[in-house]
Each structure stands twice: as structure tokens, then as C-alpha cells.
Amino acid sequence: MAIAIEKVKRAEATDTWYMPGILWGLLLTFKSLVLNLIDYIPSVVGVKKRQIMPTVNYPEEKYEYSPRFKGNHVLTVKKDGSLRCTACMLCATNCPADCIKITASEHEDPSVEKFPIAYEIDILRCVFCGFCEEACPVDAIRMGPEWQTPGVNGSEFIYDIKHLAYRPQLKGGIVSVLDEKERHEAGI
Amino acid sequence: MLKSVTSSGVAAPQATTGATSPQAKMVTISINGKEVEVKEGSTIIEAYYQSGLDIAHYCWHPGLSIAGVCRLCMVEIEGNPRLQIACNTTVVAGMKVNNSSAKVKDAVKWGLDFHLINHPLDCPICDQAGECGLQDQYMKYGQYDSEMGEQKVKKHKVVDLGPRVVLDSERCILCSRCVRFTDEVSKTHELGIFNRGDRAEIGTFEGKPLANNYSLNTVDICPVGALTSRDFRFRQRVWFLKNAETVCTGCSTGCNVKVYFNKEGLFRMKPVYNPNVNGHWMCDVGRDTYKFVNKEARLLEAKVVSSGKSQEMPAMELAKKLGATLRGHGTSAALVLTGSYSVEEYEAIVSYFKTDVGTKNIYHWINNPETFDSFDGLLFRGDKNPNTRGLLEVLKAQGISGSWKELVDGIGTGAIKTVVVAGPENQANFPDMKVKIAELSKVAKLVWLTSGKNAELDALTGDVALLPVKSYVEKAGSFVNHAGLRQQVDRVMTVVPGAVSLTELVDLMKEVGDAMTVKSTAATETVPAISANQIGQGRINNEFTLSRGVW
Ligand code: SF4
Ligand code: SF4
Ligand code: SF4
Ligand code: SF4
Ligand code: FES
């Protein structure tokens, strides 16, 4: 049996040479710079509004994601402003990062029965998978478009009920779509 | 075997078939096309359990009489045109039963649908979720879409039936297990079914709350979330808890139990079936015996107080110091033992005092002598120690017979200078705690081994050392119950990492200044205090605990 010889094609220098790629990238950057200047100078003198600037002046200007973006969590509220969460812990069960901690207690209103006295998300461990949102049977937890999570020490990254449901950005809280009272009255 | 069941007063109507009596005559029947041998006189449902097969049911419970109300245990019997319930039909030789046919499956499915007509389906806030008969059987036999268009009947929610049990009438499927329990087992008759039809509800009579010492068993046997425990309510989701079997230390009956725990500690206890000890049940007092095990109640570090100064140190370090003090101390040292420890620990520490310390001054602290021999007729005994009998037998085998008066006199005259107390684990069961602390603290040097914190002990001045010891879930060992049954338990978890068992303590004390002797392999080598024929069945697995769900 003859031994088959296969010729391996080794990469040539022209294939592995990275300079063209870099220069191509720099050209793009340079193009943006020139375009920005053309755009920027008249806007500074007040002749024209800026139009084609592809970057934003973060942090003075902030980029808004769509409402469907899975960013920071929000705990929704009922119409009366109290927490919608029933402390069923399904979100905590479903969370792959094990970063939700809930302490449940007995509510004085027997039609509410169970509610969380503490609800904490360790946002540094969260992987923003959205499984909590998906597990929740009563639309009590959602992930919103906020994505900035600055903080100066560890404790600021543990989000509690006050932050999750009533932070100023939420303007008094977001109302859940599932109303328990209406369901009770409908006899469900 | 059966004798031990009835002698402990456990009502077990079906004990004849539940217990494995060798004389029972067997008959051959065919279940789902398979020939099986079952005990004569069993019901079909028992035949299923004896052969390890699954069958849907709610109202039947091996420890209660037959009600036949849930109509879920349907089987097809050859030669019988209609489906029959398995729980109330006795087997006869040659019977051919089947619960795998389409007809039976259909019957079970729509039976379930009936049970769920008015069910609120509030699983998210229901404590039973995760171990619920409705959830389990719906997934196994149901999986239909409800065809009900009517509004659900509203009933009472969050009703306190008594101090420990909460009722949610909407979730109840009226299986009557709880009612039968109070009628047949606790014989207190608090519960009843009131009203009729879809308005029927479980309830108690005016001024007669469900307050007996066995009330929490109704929570266990309730197949749904209608009865929940006030103590455990909302504290954990059951699927976050691990469980392990051990023996209850609430009294000398030694009921077999399961403890449920996670890394934060213990959360609840449930009985495990053992026909020789507790049948299917346990008492409410016993269910609280997890509380003193948890970290909040525990002594975490050893503490030494001398000449007004107090110092904390690891238990190991203190143990070695003690070893140096006690070695060869002679008859001016004394040991006080309570009935909370295991046989192995008693053997280790008693023989250490006899040989290494050189004294026979060993005394038994009896907590409540007046009620010591009382018995409530079911399970709960006045001797609220798990191992008094084990202790007495070890003391007898080692030839020790000191009276408490001797100890008090010895302390009074100054003949006894050092007292080591293996203190109670469940301090609530020792009403004389304060008195005894006052009495014993008169000694020149007091060493108190304790698993729990105690304010009086902490306040002691003078020459005092407190050493944290392990609680019953943190060590392996055996306990001898009132009837002389020796039950071996395994370690469940660690609550206080620094605590030591008495056996470990003895090993540590022996290490000091004793480099010549090989490290003792504890006192397991000493004469066994309890003869082999007394070692009965401890915790057993059987047809009921194996194949049933938690409910
Ligand atoms: S987004 Fe994912 S990781 Fe973050 S809290 Fe929810 S379930 Fe957990
Ligand atoms: S947020 Fe939703 S899933 Fe999580 S505990 Fe509350 S109700 Fe349950
Ligand atoms: S009793 Fe069972 S099915 Fe009903 S709400 Fe509770 S867990 Fe859900
Ligand atoms: S409360 Fe539970 S045990 Fe009692 S009848 Fe209802 S479902 Fe059965
Ligand atoms: S288990 Fe047979 S009718 Fe309920």
C-alpha cells in the first residue's frame, strides 16, 4: 500500500500579518474623529445642532436601553403601594447565582397571609439571567432598563426592599399587572 | 413486636398487617399482572405497599382506621364490573387487581379534579408546597386542564385551631385524617367536620381548641396544606431543607424522628415510623427539642472565670488544662451526670474518673423526681431525659452508687474541691436548674459542661469554667429508652464547630501528661453496659416510610 502524502499548506506571512487590520481600525477611529470635529465645532459656536456624534459624553449624558433590557431588578407594588411579592421564594429557588435572600412573615391581613419582611439581592453575584422574573407567579419582580450599578462599598450592592421597590427613579413604585383583590372577587 | 406497640399505648388499628409478624399467613394475588405474596387479611392498598407499588390515595393512613372517603385509591378487580376502592377491600387468594388500566387512570384523574374544584391553588404561599399530596398526585395521575367554569367556594383561611395548628379550610380536601387522629389516637375529639356538601369544613367546638400534646401530628398527616404548624409556618420552604433521622431527646420514650435543617440550623422535627417505639407519631413537646440545638441558644466558646477575671478560650485548650488539673486529683474531685448524654459518652467519662482521676464520686442529677415515672398513656413520659436508663446501667456496671446528699455534704465539709458537671442539654426540662447551680457553685472549683447558654452560669464568680459540648445532633452515639431499647444515632450536622462530645473531651484530657499511653480509642472497649440481647431494633425502614411521600 502506497503511503499517501498530503501537503499541508502553512500560513504565509501575508495571512498572519496583523498590521493591515490595525491600520483599518485606526482609519475608522480617525474618520470618526474628523467627523466629530466637523460636527462639534459648529455646535460649539452655536451654528448648528450636533447630529452625527457616535459617542456620548458619559456620565453627563446617559444611554437609555429599551424597556425590555434585563437590567436592575424592580419589585412591583400593589395599587395601595404595598409590595406585591408574596414571599413564595420561587425566584430564590430558580436563581442560579443564589443571590436572593427572602425572609417571610405572617401578614396581619389574612387575605394576604404571607409577605416578605426582608428581600435582598446581592447584585454583585447576580448574572442578570432573568430567571427570577420568569419564576415569579405574580409579576412581583421585573428586570428594568437601568443598568448602572455604581457604589462605593460592598453594602451598597445588597439591594433591599427600599431600593428594589421604592428607589426615587421608580417614582413611587411600579404597579404589578396581577391584582390579588380582583382575582379574589372574580372567584379564582 | 406487636406487644411493644400496644404496651406503649400506640393505637395502631392495622398493626397486624403493618408489623412484620413471621407467623402471618401469606396469600398469592396478582397486582397489575404480577404475582405477589401478601399477608392474609390485608387490604388491597396494604398489598400495594407490601409489594412496593404505587397507588393513589389521600384518606387512608396506616396508623388510622379506614374511612374510604377520598375515592382515589380505585382499582379494577377481575370479575367485578365496577371499580372498587383499595383501602376498604380485603384481599382473597387468587384475586386479580389492577390500577394501571385506562379506566382506573381516568377515575383517579377526575377524582382529583373533584378534589380541586374549590381548591384555592395558593401553592406560592402554602407551606405544604413541595411535599403536598395534591401537587404530587396531580403530577403523577392528573395533568389535566380544569373544566370548571364556576366560581370557587370561599371558606375560612388562617384559622387558629389551637396554639400550634393553623387551618386553611379552602385547601382542605375533607379526607378526615385529622378528625380520625383526634378520635382514635389522641382520643381528645377536638376536631369535627361541620356543615355539608361544598360548605363542609373542619373545625373545633366552641371553647375546645386543638391543644392536646399530639396536635402537630395532624399537620403531618394532613395530605394537603390545610393544616400547618404555627411554629414552622413561613420560616423556610421545605425544599431548602435537608433531613436526617435521629432520636428525639424530649423524654425517655425516644421516638424516632427526622430533623429538618439547613446551614442556618434546625427548623422542625417529624416522627419516623417505628412499631417498637413510637408507631407513627410523636408529641408536641418533642417537636420543640430542636430549639436548644440552634446557635442562638448555644455556648460557643469555653469560658474560664478565676479571681474575678473571665477569659474566653477554645474548648480544646480548656479540655487539656482540665486534664492536667484532674489527673490524679483523687477523691476530692466529683462528677455530676444528667441523662442527656449517650451511653458511649457515659462509659468514657465514668471510666476516666475511676481510673485517671481516681474517684468514685459520681452522682446522678435527677431533674423532676416527682413526675419521673409518670406516663400519659400514649408516648410522653415524665422522665424527660433520653438516656436515664443508659446512665443507670453504666453506673451499675461500673459499681457506682453515690447519693446526691453525699455530694452536698462533701461540698459542705470541703472534702470535695472540684466538681465537673455534665449539665442538661434541654435546660427547660430542669426546673431545679437555679437551685442546683446555687448548690454546686459553693464548691472551690466548678467545671460545667453545657451545650446551651445559661444566664445564671454566666453570672457565677469564683473559680468556674464553662465548656461547650455537642448537642445530640452533632455526635454519634446510642440512647437507651425507658424500655431498655438501645437506639444508635448518627451525627446529623455541626452547629457549634468548637464544641466537643464527652468522649472527645475525655480523649483530650487523657492526652495531657500521658504521652506514654496510646491515644484512647474511647471507652467503647470497656465492658458494654448493656448486654447484646437488649440491643433491639433502633430506627428501621419499612413499607410505609419507604414508599410513602412525606405526607
Ligand atoms: S437575574 Fe438571575 S442571577 Fe440575578 S437575581 Fe435574578 S435569577 Fe438570580
Ligand atoms: S418576587 Fe415573586 S417569585 Fe420572588 S418571592 Fe416574591 S412573589 Fe415569589
Ligand atoms: S395544598 Fe398543595 S396544591 Fe394546595 S395550595 Fe398548598 S401546595 Fe398548593
Ligand atoms: S384538614 Fe387535612 S387532614 Fe383534615 S380533613 Fe382536611 S385535608 Fe384531611
Ligand atoms: S384512600 Fe381509599 S378512599 Fe381514600
- What is the ipTM for the molecules in this complex? 0.80
Q: List residues of A whose CB lies inside 8 A of any B CB.
A: 86-90, 93, 104-106, 110-111, 113-114, 137-138, 186-188
CATH number of the domain that residue A152 is part of: 3.30.70.3270
C-alpha–C-alpha distance, residues B452 and B470, integer Å: 9
* Contact call for residues B231 and B164 (beta carbons, < 8 A): yes
Cell of B424: 442538661
The boundaries of every CATH 3.10.20.740 domain in chain B are: 3-15+26-114
Give the confidence band of B371 by pLDDT, cuts at 50, 70, 90: confident
Structural domains of chain A, count: 2
Question: What fold characterizes domain B3-15+26-114?
Answer: Ubiquitin-like (UB roll) (3.10.20)
Q: Are residues A109 and A165 in the same domain?
A: yes
* pLDDT tops 60 at residue B20: no
Q: Are residues A31 and A78 in the same domain?
A: no
In sequence order, the 6+-apart residues with CB closer than 8 A to the CB of B62 are B14, B18, B46, B49, B273, B280, B544
Q: Are residues A41 and A93 in the same domain?
A: no
Q: Is residue A49 part of a domain?
A: yes
Q: Are residues A35 and A125 in the same domain?
A: no
Question: What is the SS3 assignment for B152-195?
Answer: CCCCCCCEECCCCEEECHHHCCCCCHHHHHHHHHCCCCCEEEEC
CB contact under 8 Å between A87 and B152, yes or no, is no
Which amino acid residue places its CA nearest to atom 6 of ligand 1?
A132
Residue range B383-395, pLDDT digits in tens: 999 999 999 999 9
* B residues 494..523 contacting A (CB < 8 A): none
Closest-CA residue of chain B to A110: B158
* pLDDT tops 60 at residue B144: yes
Which amino acid residue places its CA nearest to atom 2 of ligand 1?
A129
* pLDDT tops 70 at residue B518: no
Q: Is residue A150 part of a domain?
A: yes
Q: How much is the mean pLDDT over chain B?
A: 88
Q: Is residue A4 part of a domain?
A: no
Ligand 5 centre to CA of B66 (Å) is 8
CB contact under 8 Å between B234 and A110, yes or no, is no
Distance from CA of A82 to the nearest CA of B (A): 17
Residues in a beta bridge with B38: B27
CB contact under 8 Å between A187 and B239, yes or no, is no
CB contact under 8 Å between B125 and A106, yes or no, is no
DSSP line for chain A: -PPP-----PPPHHHH--HHHHHHHHHHHHHHHHHHHHHHHHHHHTSS------S--TTTS-PPPPTT---SEEE-B-TTSSB------HHHHH-TT--EEEEEEE-SSTTT-EEEEEEEEETTT-----HHHHH-TTS-EEE-S------SSGGGGEE-HHHHHH-GGGTT-PBPS--HHHHHHTT-
Q: Are residues A91 and A179 in the same domain?
A: yes
Q: Is residue A102 part of a domain?
A: yes
Q: Are residues A104 and A174 in the same domain?
A: yes
Q: Is residue A170 part of a domain?
A: yes
Cβ-based neighbour number of residue B187 at 10 Å? 13
Q: Are residues A47 and A90 in the same domain?
A: no
Give the confidence band of A187 by pLDDT, cuts at 50, 70, 90: low
Question: What fold characterizes domain B298-525?
Answer: Rossmann fold (3.40.50)
* pLDDT tops 80 at residue A83: yes
Query: What range defines the domain where residue A46 resides?
Result: 15-55
Which residue among B59, B61, B64, B173 has the greatest number of ligand 5 atoms within 8 angstroms of its CB, and so is best to mutate? Answer: B59
Q: Are residues A77 and A22 in the same domain?
A: no
Q: Are residues A123 and A168 in the same domain?
A: yes
* Contact call for residues B279 and B5 (beta carbons, < 8 A): yes
Quote the pLDDT of residue A51.
65
SS3 for B94?
A: coil
Q: Which residue has the higher pLDDT, B550 or A65?
A: A65
Q: Is residue A65 part of a domain?
A: no
Give the confidence band of B326 by pLDDT, cuts at 50, 70, 90: very high
Q: Which of B150, B157, B234 sits opposite A110 (nearest CB)?
A: B157
Q: Which amino acid is at A185?
A: E
Residue matched to cell numbers 385509591: B73
CB contact under 8 Å between A93 and B237, yes or no, is yes
Closest-CA residue of chain A to B156: A110
Q: Is residue A174 part of a domain?
A: yes
Q: What is the mean pLDDT of residues B189-207?
A: 94
The boundaries of every CATH 3.40.50.740 domain in chain B are: 298-525
- Phi, psi angle pair for B386, to nearest 5°: -75, -20
pTM summary value: 0.85
Q: Is residue A5 part of a domain?
A: no
